[in-house]
Structure 1
Amino acid sequence: MLGTERERWLALLVMLAMLAGVVEGEESEKMLPTPSKTLPTPSKTLPTPSKTLPTPSEMLPTHSSIVDDDNWGTLVAVTAVRGSTARLPCDVTSPTQDDPVLLVLWYRNASVTPVYSYDSRGVEGTAGATGGLRQQWGDEEAWGEEQRAWFNTSTTPAHLMVRAVGGRDEDSYMCTVHFRASPSWSQKITLTVQG
């Protein structure tokens, strides 16, 4: 059995070489092994695929493939009851002491566009600036005009609070944390809604 399988592989390699123009003429026929038995002809033809292959522009990397793999947190699974408030954790603790968080971006389903941002650089452009206000922004398409999401940094870890969760919120999320000096890192969260 192993010999016939080996012969099939050799025949395949020779045919590929012929197609590539590497082997020509009588030499290629000498290289082809004589099959010990013939293979049955298929009775059905395979269906034509309904999907076409993606174009090069559709194959551009997603946000998740751009982020450095060494700076990922663990995958966290969160389950929330429909209509309740979901708490999506995101650790904003710097690995270096006294290195403040500058920006936290939340992405949904490997999108390249954030659905939520927390900017602690303040009005004057620096973290902890006197009079600086922390700014939060949520995508209306994701969270509605009533802004059902809010990033709570008063807890450890911090949480993206999503009010009145429903099936539309069930997805995978990623928070990316940017510090002043330490490397940025990301945390993946999956949200499941029950009920």
Structure 2
Amino acid sequence: MGRRMRVTPAPLYILLLICAPIYTFIVGVDGPLSRQEALEGGNTTFLCDTTPDSTDDEFMILVWYRNNVPIYSFEFPDKEWADPAFNTNGRLKADLYRQPTALVVTALTEDDQALYHCRVDFRLSPTRNVAVNLTV
């Protein structure tokens, strides 16, 4: 009696790790990786195939990530979002009617050098991921 149980923060951290929705792109596991080079001050175009596997399917959500942080998303039929911290001065422009879908980043800086990846969720088909390692 008189003895108190001491609670350590370790179980809380484990609970947070289990419950927190963390998504990290793993090259080779989640999708292929390509390399792309661009000049500082120039533009680059990232391509992502949003064509479904079958004609009775359609893409529902397209998300582009920079170092696993979302910078652009489009949700079918017309909900578009771009990260205001990354999309300063309208640097991101998406062409959703082109196949493969194109995301153009303008006015590149050295800070834009990163791993970018695209995730496409379909109504029926499995999720598709592709990654691009951009060197500026």
Gaps of 5+ in 2: 1-12
What amino acid is the match of 1:143? N
SS of aligned partner of 2:57: coil
- Which has the larger helix fraction? 1
SS of aligned partner of 2:41: coil
CA shift for structure 1 position 162? 0.4
Q: Which has the higher contact order (CA 8 A, sep 6+)?
A: 2
Say which one has the larger Rg.
Answer: 1
* 1:185 equivalent in alignment to 2:135: no
Identical aligned residues as a percent: 30
Quick check: 1:82–1:166 contact (8 Å CA) kept in 2? yes
SS of aligned partner of 1:83: coil
Instruction: Give 1:107's aligned residue.
Output: 65
Note the alpha carbon deviations across 1:50-98, whole angstroms, 9 max, x for none: xxxxx655796741269xx4xx331121211111211011111111223
Q: 1:166 aligns with which of 94, 105, 109?
A: 109
SS of aligned partner of 2:85: helix
Quick check: 2:31–2:128 contact (8 Å CA) kept in 1? yes
Gaps of 5+ in 1: 1-54, 122-133
What TM-score do you get using the length of structure 1 for normalisation? 0.54
What count of residue pairs does the alignment treat as equivalent? 120
What TM-score do you get using the length of structure 2 for normalisation? 0.75
Quick check: 2:25–2:117 contact (8 Å CA) kept in 1? no
* 1:79 equivalent in alignment to 2:37: yes
* 1:64 equivalent in alignment to 2:19: no
Separation in structure 2 between the aligned mates of residue 74 and residue 140 of structure 1, nearest angstrom: 28
